[in-house]
Amino acid sequence: MTSPILSIDRLTKTYGSGFKALNGVSLDIRDGEILALLGPNGAGKTTLISTICGIVQPTSGRVTVAGHDTVRDYKAARRLIGLVPQEIALEPFEKVITTVRFSRGLFGKPRDDAFIEKILRQLSLWDKRDARVRELSGGMKRRVLIAKALSHEPRVLFLDEPTAGVDVELRRDMWQVVEQLKADGVTIILTTHYLEEAEAIADRVGVINKGEILLIEETQALMKRMGQKEMRIELTEPVSEVPGVLSGYGLRLEAGGCRVVYTYDRQAERTGIGRLLRDMQDADLHVSDVETRQSSLEEIFVGLVAEDAGEARP
Partner 1 sequence: MNLTAIAAIYRFEMGRTFRTIAQSIISPVLSTALYFIVFGTAIGSRIEQVEGVSYGAFIVPGLIMLTVLTQSLSNASFGIYFPKFIGTIYELLSAPASFLEITAGYVLAAATKALAIGLIILGTAFFFVDLTIAHPVWMLAFLVLTCLSFSLFGFIIGIWAQNFEQLQLIPLLAVTPLVFLGGAFYSITMLPPAWQTISLFNPVVYLISGFRWSFFGLADVALGWSVLAICGFTMACIAVIAWIFRTGWRLRS
Residue numbers at the binding site for partner 1 (CB under 8 A): 15-16, 53-57, 74-79, 81, 83, 85, 87, 89-94, 98, 101-110, 148
Quick one: 82 or 206, whose CB is closer to partner 1? 82
Rounded to the nearest whole angstrom, what is the least distance from the CB of residue 70 to partner 1 in the complex? 10
CB–CB of 84/151 below 8 Å? Answer: no
Quick one: 4 or 85, whose CB is closer to partner 1? 85
Rounded to the nearest whole angstrom, what is the least distance from the CB of residue 178 to partner 1 in the complex? 20
Quick one: 186 or 205, whose CB is closer to partner 1? 186
Residue 17 CA to chain centroid, in angstroms?
A: 29
CB–CB of 102/176 below 8 Å? Answer: no
Rounded to the nearest whole angstrom, what is the least distance from the CB of residue 103 to partner 1 in the complex? 6
* Residue 118 phi, psi (nearest 5): -60, -45
Three-state secondary structure call for residue 78 = helix
CB–CB of 50/63 below 8 Å? Answer: no
H or E element in which residue 282 lies: helix 273-282
Rounded to the nearest whole angstrom, what is the least distance from the CB of residue 66 to partner 1 in the complex? 13
CB–CB of 137/167 below 8 Å? Answer: no
Rounded to the nearest whole angstrom, what is the least distance from the CB of residue 82 to partner 1 in the complex? 9
CB–CB of 199/223 below 8 Å? Answer: yes
Q: Backbone dihedral region of 198: left (phi > 0), alpha (psi from -120 to 50 degrees) or beta?
A: alpha
